[in-house]
Amino acid sequence: MSMQCPSDALVRRNGGQILVDQLRRHGARRVFLVPGESYLPCIDALNEHRGAIEPIVCRQESGAAYMAEAFGKLTGDPGICFVTRGPGATNASIGVHTAFQDSTPMILFIGQVGNDFVEREAFQEIDYRRMFGPMAKWVAQIDATDRIPEYVARAWRVATNGRPGPVVLALPEDTLWGEAEVADAEPMARLHGYPGQSQLDELKARLAEAERPFLLLGGSGWTEEAQQQMTAFARRFNLPVGVAWRRLECFDQRDAQFVGHVGMGMHDQLRQRLADTDLLIAVGTRIGEATSEGYSWITSPTPKQTLVHVYPDPEELGRVYRASLAIDADVVGFAQSLDRLQPDAQTSWQDATQQARQQYLATLEPQPAPGALNLDRVGLCVDKLLDGKGCVTVGAGNYALYPHRFVRFSGLGSSLAPTVGSMGYGLPAAISSKLEFPERPAVCFAGDGCFQMNLQELGVALQYRLGIVVLVFNNGMWGTIRAHQERDFPGREIALTFTNPAFTTLVEAYGGQGRVVERDEDVEPALRWALEFAERERLPVLIELRYESDYIAPGQSLNDIRDAALARISAQAASE
């Protein structure tokens, strides 16, 4: 029960009680934590909110931070994470960095030494303002118990408004153990930025002048209504639509307007289409390094394309690209305003949009692959069995190209992928998805190296009875780095292989079940079994995929990469 009191009858509470009361008042429903003595009053205060705030006890702070970040992606509300000072904070920093580059609302609370010990390098003491300053929207330390409501309310507002992102608050022990009679701060409604009418008029005029327009969607903060409004706009103007790197949930890819995933690994025809477009409408995306493929198909600072850039942070607009029309608006406000835009005449690029769609559909065909197991077919099978339902998660690695290419994502909540490219993300993200949407399937794609960075979080799936499905791509190496090594130092492979455990035995130790798949014909039966087992038993399932290690990406092999690199080096030597 929350401790709500009229202002003339304030109850004296300790800092932990005040903080958790404030979180509940702002709508927190779940917190992810690794317990620590440095914030015991907060842990104790959760007793007063049983049934309202669910504590998820994680096994390591990076897993907790990833789960909180995934919660922020799924809901639009800040993911709440508690960790202890020092090592707990450093472990959690990877989740904060992910939230920063992915523009995800998140609040990390860190226990801190008391103010009577500060600046003595006390046990596990770190200056969190200096540590987290470059990778958070706001970092602060609450040094007075009666100011906790003020700080929490501001943290919630900063994390969710403008360009969303992480906030870090340090909690000195004397602040949490201290007591105060203070009123809770009331939550504020989320703010949305809208384009001006003159900007909408200019957008419409540029569309009327265009011959090869392209709509690129990305970023965070989307709602179902905003996606519906954006889809209606794309249909009215018959625009080809792409999603930015790892923003696969921003548009329903089964829709006829969708033409591809823009960024690393996209197909050549889409890359050329982006380079040739005469009007690029980029909404919610920074068009960062991964999306722009190293700032190649779009150049900085002045793109050759006419660029309409819509983004909720005026400091980002013009930072990398000089837009012809810059609009300071968030995706919700911009999408809502698009209802006013109607084409005055039939657009001239219908055939181009249809062609782009057909080129995208052609990429869903599996490519030849060495060995008995074709990973393209694994991605296609997941797409078939999920049929637009559930969530697919990944971490980082070439294996992620298979779901990115072959799964048709269906909108909000269908994908959780770190744009920052951090490993170990997929399993915690799948857990967070299953906690939030227990009726939906959650399928994690994980490389054998990526999976082992946070496999201990299977304990969370066991403890909370979460039926997640994990596909482990076992090639016994750091595959992405191996591909880079063959490009730059062909034939000189070293220090990139490892010996794996028995993954199926490992998942059994966590109460689940596992199978090994080595042939195409076994993929669908194994996936059907895994989804059914996970749903029925509410326990984790793992499918270990064993395949030819030379097979590194869709339609690509290490041998091909090595041969191309050797030919390039030979040609360079001959020309010198």
**Would you call 213 helix, strand, or coil by DSSP?**
strand
Domain 197-362, what fold? Answer: Rossmann fold (3.40.50)
Structure tokens at 30: 């779940």
Neighbours of 125 (CB within 10 A): 15
Q: How many CA atoms lie within 13 A of 239 on its CB side?
A: 29
For the packed helices 558-575 and 479-488, what is the interaxial angle rounded to 10 degrees? 20
* Pair 259, 352: CB distance under 8 Å: no
pLDDT recorded at residue 113: 75
Q: Is the pTM of this model over 0.75?
A: yes
Domain boundaries, the chain: 7-180, 197-362, 375-562
Cross-strand partners of 32: 56, 81
Return phi, psi of residue 357, to 5°. Answer: -65, -45
Architecture of the domain made up of 7-180: 3-Layer(aba) Sandwich (3.40)
CA-CA distances (angstroms) from residue 47 to 54, 161, 295? 10, 30, 51
| Beta-sheet strands, E only, within 248-377 | 258-261, 279-283, 306-311, 325-328
Decide if 197-362 and 375-562 have a common fold. Answer: yes
d(Cα 245, Cα 261) in Å, to the nearest integer?
A: 7
The dotted CATH code for 375-562 is 3.40.50.970
Closest CA to 458 of 429, 428, 479: 428
Q: What is the DSSP letter of 167?
A: E
Q: Which residues of 437-451 are buried (b: 16+ CB within 10 A; e: fewer)?
A: eeeebbbbbbbbbbb
d(Cα 20, Cα 81) in Å, to the nearest integer?
A: 12
**Would you call 81 helix, strand, or coil by DSSP?**
strand
- Whether the CA torsion 429, 431, 436, 437 is positive or negative: it is positive
pLDDT recorded at residue 2: 43
pLDDT tens per residue across span 460-480: 999 999 999 999 999 999 999
Q: How far is CA 542 from the centre of its chain?
A: 22
- Whether the CA torsion 260, 263, 267, 269 is positive or negative: it is positive
Closest CA to 41 of 15, 73, 77, 66: 15
pLDDT recorded at residue 123: 63
Q: Which residues of the chain have pLDDT under 50?
A: 1-7
pLDDT recorded at residue 20: 98
Q: How many CA atoms lie within 13 A of 540 on its CB side?
A: 30
Cross-strand partners of 108: 81, 168
Look at the block and give the residue holding tokens 């914030």. 39
Structure tokens at 282: 């980029």
Return phi, psi of residue 200, to 5°. Answer: -65, -40
